[in-house]
Structure 1
Amino acid sequence: MCCCRQDLLPDLPRPRDLRPFPTREALQFLGHKSVVRALAVHPLGKILATGSDDHTVKIWEISSGRCIRTLDVGDAVTCLQWNPNSRVLVLAVCVGSCVVMINPESYLTEAAVVTRTNALFMVPPEQGDYEVNKKVQRAVTWATPSSDERQMGYRVVLKHLCPVQQIVWHPQGDYFATLQREAKSSSVIIHQLSRHRSQIPFSKSAIKVTAMSFHPKKAYFYICCQGRVRVYSLLQKKLIRLIRTSSSSEWISSIAVHPSGEHFIIGSHGKRLTWYEMEATNRPYTLRYHHGAVRSVAYHNKYPLMASAADDGRVIVAHAMVYNDWIKDPLIVPVKELRSHAFLDGVCVLQLCWHPCNPVLFTAGADGTVRLWQ
C-alpha cells in the first residue's frame, strides 16, 4: 500500500462552510483629507472613531456612515481607543506627545452614560500623601484641559516626554498603557484613570518596544521588541516568559491576544504572521499570506475570525477556531481576501478592527478612506 503526499495533508473545510465572515465592501466613511492611521469601534457597536494625519478625529454613526462630529486636535493622530467599559464614553487619542481623554457626548449614547462620564472627570481625584516618583514626573504629567478644550470634549490630558505611538486599555477600563518608543527606559507607562496616577514598571528593561497588549483575563502584559515578545506578570512585577521569533532582527509591528488568553498572534515587517500558543511557544505557526509588511492584526471577540492587513494592499480574513482540548491544534483557514484601498507612497491599509458584536470588519487606509466590510 502506498500513499502520496496529498494523502498526508489534513482535510480543510471549504470557506463557504465556515461562514459568517466579511466578503464585500458595504460602506465607505468619507471626509478625512489625509492618511487615516487609527480607528476604533465603541463597545456597544453603534459609533466609530477615526483619526488622521489631517489633525482631526471623526465620530461616525456606523449604521448610516454619517459623520456626527469632527474634532480638530491640532496634530496628526497616531492611535485612538475607546474605553472598553460601556458604562462610560471615553475616547483616548494619541496626538503628538499627548494622550487626550475625550467625551464626544454623542446623541447615539444614553444620556446617563454621558452624565456618568462627565462626573468621572468633574473633580480631580484626591491624592492625599501620594508623591509622584521623579522618573514618572519627568516622563508624564496629568493636566487639566483649558475651558476651550473642555468645550471640545477634552476631559484630561496626559503630557508625555516623547511622541506617543500606541495606547491600549485593560479590559476593565480603569488601567491603560501608553507607548513612546523614543523614551527608552520609560517607553511603556501604565496609568490608572480613576486615580490619575502613572507608573513605569519596566524601567530596568531599556529595550526598543514596538507593540504591546494587555492579557484579556490575567494580570499579564505583552511587550514586543525586535525579534522577541516578553510576557510580564503585573502582580509579581517580573518577566515570566521570553519568546524569540524566528529572526532576531524581525520588526514586530502589531500583536493581538486571543479572547481566551491562550493564544496570540504577531505581525511583522518580514511579511509574516506568527501564531503562538501560550503553552507551546516553541512551536509557533508561521502564516505567509502577505507580500508586504504586515501593519495590523486582530481577533474577533465573539466569532472565530482573525484578520490581517499589509502593505501589499490586501486584507486577509481567516477562520481561526481554537478548542478547549489543548491537544487539538487551532484550525486556521484563510477564507477571504479583501482589496479596495488605494496605495500612497508604497503603503495601503494601515489599521483594522472588528465590530464587537457582528462579523463586520473596518479598515483604515493611506488613501484617506475608512471602509466597512460585511
Structure 2
Amino acid sequence: MKGRERTKRTADKAEKEKEKEVFAEISLDQNGTDSADEDDIVDADGNLIFGPSETVDGEEGEQELPEIIPDYASDDSDEETNNTIGNVPLEWYAELDHIGYDINGKKIPKPKGASKDALDEFLDSMDDPNAWRSVLNKLEGENVVLSDTDLDIIKRIQSKMIPEKDYNPYEPTVEWFSSQTETQPLSAAPEPKRRFIPSKTEGARIMKIVRAIRKGWKKTTEELKEEKEKALPKFYDIWAHSDPDAKDKHMHIPAPRMSLPDHRESYNPPIEYIPTEEEVEEWKALDPEDRPQNFIPKKHPNLRSVGAYDRFVQERFDRCLDLYLCPRMIKNRINIDPESLIPQLPSRKELEPYPTALSVVYEGHEKRIRCFSVDPTGKWLVSGSDDCTVRVWEVLTGRMVKSWKFEEPVQDVKWNPNAEFSILAIAVENDVFLVNPGVSSKEVDEVTDEVFANIWGKESPSKIDWKKPSAAASALGHRVILNFSKNVTTVVWHRKGDYFSTVCPDAGGAAVSIHQISKRQTQNPFKKSYGLVQKVQFHPKKPWLFVATQRYIRVYNLIQQDLIHKLHPGVKWISSMDVHPQGDNVLIGSYDKRLCWFDMDLSSKPYKTLRYHKSAIRNSTFHRTLPLFASCSDDGTLNVFHGMVYDSLDQNPLIVPLKSFKAHKVVDSLGVLHCEFHPVQPWVFSCGSDNGAFVLKLFA
C-alpha cells in the first residue's frame, strides 16, 4: 500500500513539471517577454495564481472571477496530513528517530536537519534568504515558506483590517423583503368553496387506511411498538435492584433554597430587633453553633453607610459544604393505609366491667385531702387531710364512722392488706401511728389487740423508737407510735401484714426503713442512698423491694441483699409507683405528664409510655383482681385503662383506654391528688376539690 502511494506521488510530481514547461512556453509573447502582471503570484510549484482583484472580460462583457485554488484559497482545517499521530504532544517523539506514523502505521522518519541545535539554525537562517518568511510545521517537522499573499493577510490582520483585500463591508443593502408594513392584502379574492368542504381525495386516503387497519393489513403505532418489544431478546440484569428503565430517567433534585432575610438583616431594623448590651454579651458567650443568628443587628442612617459583610465568604463556604457533604436522594414513598397502622383494639363493651359514672361523694374534710386507703374487705375507707384529721367512711353510704385529730397534717395513711388484722398506719410529720380503728368484727379486733399486746414483752434492738401510747390514746385505738428523725412521706404494707416500710427522703442512708410488728424491730436495708427516694413497694410474691428515686427504679432482693434490676423510665421526676399483682409489670407516674408501663421480662425500658394528661401525674395504681389500672393528674382528670397481662410470654400486655373522668376542679394548680381501686369491685376512688369543698368520690 505504501509503495502505491509513493508511485502515485512521483507521477503527480512529473505531471506538475510538464505543466510548468507548458506554462513557460505559453506565457512568452511575440517579443519574448513574460505576459504575467506584476500582481500575479507564482507558487512554489510554478503554478500561476491570479491576484484577488484580477478580472477577465468574456465575450458578453461579464466579469469573471479567478479560479479558486484549493491549496490556498479554501479552508484547510480538514486538510489531510501524512502524520497521523493525532492530538498528542510532539515532545514524546523528541528523542526518537521518527516524528510519527502514516495512515498505514509506518514510521515517518525525521527530515534532514531536524535535530539541529540553535547555532546551526542561526547559520542556516543567515544563508537562507527566505528564512524571515519561513514557518516551522511541527507536525511534519519541516519549514514552510509563506507566500506574498500569506504575508499580506498577516499584515492586514496585524493592522486590525479585514484579511481579504477586496472585501467591501459597506455594500448597498438589498431589501429582499419590504420594510413597509402592508395593511391591505395583496389579493382581495374571496376564499374558494373548496376551502370549506372536506377533501374527497383525503377522505378516500383515510378510508383506505381505515380499511387496512380493520383487516389487519396496517398496524397502529402501539402495535408496532409492542411487536418491536417482543422481538427484543429477553435479557435482563439479574443483579439489578431497581428498574432498568430508571437509569434513563434523569431525576434532578434541586438544592434547598436559602432562607430569606428578615427584619433583623435590614440596614435600618426596628427598635425591638436591636439587642441591648446584656443581650450582646450573652450572644458572645454562646458557642457559634448555639447562637440563634450569626450576626448582631445594627442600625445605619442610610444604605451607603453599610459596610462590607465580613462573613460573606464564610457563609458561602458553609453553603458549599452543605451542598457537598449533604447529598440529596429520592426515597420512594410507601403507600400504607393509615388504618392498618392503628392497632386493632377490642371494643370497650367487651372489656366491661369498669367504672363509668360517679356514684358516691364523701364530704367532711375542711382542707385538702392528701391520701386515703380502702380496707381489704372493701367496706371501709380511711382518708387523711391537711386539716390534721383522719376519718373512716362507710364505702356504700358515704357515712363517716370515726375520726382522729392530730397536731400536724397527715402525710399518708394505709390499711393493712391482711383481712385477719384491722390496723391503720398513719404518717404524721416524724411519727407513724399504728391504730386499731375498731370498725371490723369483734374477733378481728381481738386478734389485732392480742398482736400488739404480745410485742411489749419482747426486747429487741431497734434504731427507731417504738413507743407505747398513753391510756387516753389507747382508748382512741392507738397501739404503737414510731418516732423518726425526719419527716415520713410514705407508708407501704407487705401483703402478709406483718411488715411495712416507710420513706424519709431527707434521712440519707436511713431513707428506707422496714418494720416488723411481731418482733417490734426496725431495719435499714441500705447503708447509703443513690438519690432522693420517692416511693417504695414490696413485690407481691417474692422478697423483693422496689425503690424509686427521682429518675430510676432499683429492684433489690432482700434475702440475697443485692441489686436485681434497674429500670430506666426516661422521665425527669417520678411521682408514683405501683406493682402489678403478678409482679412482672410496674406502673410509673411522673411529674412531666408521662405514665410508663414496664414489662420486666421484656426490657429495662418502658414497654408503653402514655401521654394522656396535660399536667403532672399524682398517682397511678393497679386493680388487685381485675385487669384495670388508673392514673390521676393535676389537670383534674382521672383516666381508667384496661391492662391485661397474659401468662404466655409470646403475648405482650394489652393496654386499652377506657374512660376519662373530669373528677375534680383545679385549685391552686392542684387537681386530683390520689386515686385507688376497690379491692374487689370495679370501682375507683379519687380525692380533690369540688365546688369549694374537699371531697372524695367513688366512680362505679
Question: Into which bin does the TM-score normalised by the smaller protein fall?
Answer: over 0.9
Rounded Cα–Cα distance in structure 2 between residues aligned with 1:90 and 1:352: 21
Spell out the pairing of 1:220-369 with structure 2 (5 A cutoff).
220-247=544-571, 250-284=572-606, 285-366=608-689, 367-369=693-695
Deviation at 1:167, TM superposition (A): 0.4
Q: Is the contact made by 2:579 and 2:587 (CA closer than 8 Å) also made in structure 1?
A: yes
Q: Which has the larger helix fraction?
A: 2
Deviation at 1:246, TM superposition (A): 1.7
Q: Is the contact made by 1:78 and 1:95 (CA closer than 8 Å) also made in structure 2?
A: yes
* Matched AA of 2:362: F
Rounded Cα–Cα distance in structure 2 between residues aligned with 1:99 and 1:283: 35
Rounded Cα–Cα distance in structure 2 between residues aligned with 1:314 and 1:341: 7
Greater displacement, 63-72 / 118-127 = 118-127
Match of 2:380 in 1: 47
Give yes or no for the alignment of 1:166 onto 2:490: yes
- One of 179, 186, 203 as aligned partner of 2:510: 186
* Matched AA of 1:91: L
- One of 461, 475, 489 as aligned partner of 1:131: 461
Rounded Cα–Cα distance in structure 2 between residues aligned with 1:308 and 1:269: 12
Match of 2:475 in 1: 151
Deviation at 1:123, TM superposition (A): 4.0
> What TM-score, normalized by structure 1, do the two folds share?
0.94
Larger Rg, first or second structure (1 or 2): 2
Rounded Cα–Cα distance in structure 1 between residues aligned with 2:592 and 2:577: 14
Match of 1:113 in 2: 444
Match of 1:92 in 2: 425
Deviation at 1:2, TM superposition (A): 5.7
Deviation at 1:125, TM superposition (A): 4.1
Rounded Cα–Cα distance in structure 1 between residues aligned with 2:582 and 2:618: 23
Give yes or no for the alignment of 1:10 onto 2:332: no
What is the CA deviation profile of residues 10-60 of structure 1, one whole-angstrom value per residue up to 9, with x for unaligned ones?
Answer: 211122221111011111000000000111110011111011000100011
Deviation at 1:206, TM superposition (A): 4.4
Q: Which has the larger strand fraction?
A: 1
Deviation at 1:242, TM superposition (A): 1.3
Provide runs of 4+ in structure 1 moved above 4 Å: none
What is the CA deviation profile of residues 61-107 of structure 1, one whole-angstrom value per residue up to 9, with x for unaligned ones?
Answer: 1111100111112211111111111111101001111110011111x
* Matched AA of 2:569: T
Query: Given the superposition, is the C-alpha separation of residues 207 and 282 from structure 1 closer, same or farther in structure 2, using an over 3 Å criterion?
Result: closer
Deviation at 1:127, TM superposition (A): 3.6
Match of 1:23 in 2: 356
Report the number of matched residues: 363
Rounded Cα–Cα distance in structure 2 between residues aligned with 1:282 and 1:240: 11
Deviation at 1:131, TM superposition (A): 3.4
* Matched AA of 1:63: L
* Higher RCO (Cα < 8 Å, 6 or more apart): 1
Deviation at 1:126, TM superposition (A): 4.0
* Matched AA of 2:541: K
Q: Is the contact made by 2:421 and 2:448 (CA closer than 8 Å) also made in structure 1?
A: yes
* Matched AA of 1:80: V
Rounded Cα–Cα distance in structure 2 between residues aligned with 1:364 and 1:301: 20
Structure 2 unaligned runs (5+)? 1-333
Rounded Cα–Cα distance in structure 2 between residues aligned with 1:7 and 1:97: 56
Q: Is the contact made by 1:293 and 1:312 (CA closer than 8 Å) also made in structure 2?
A: yes
Q: Secondary structure at the match of 2:601?
A: coil
Q: Report sequence identity in percent.
A: 37
Q: Is the contact made by 1:125 and 1:195 (CA closer than 8 Å) also made in structure 2?
A: no
Rounded Cα–Cα distance in structure 1 between residues aligned with 2:509 and 2:605: 31
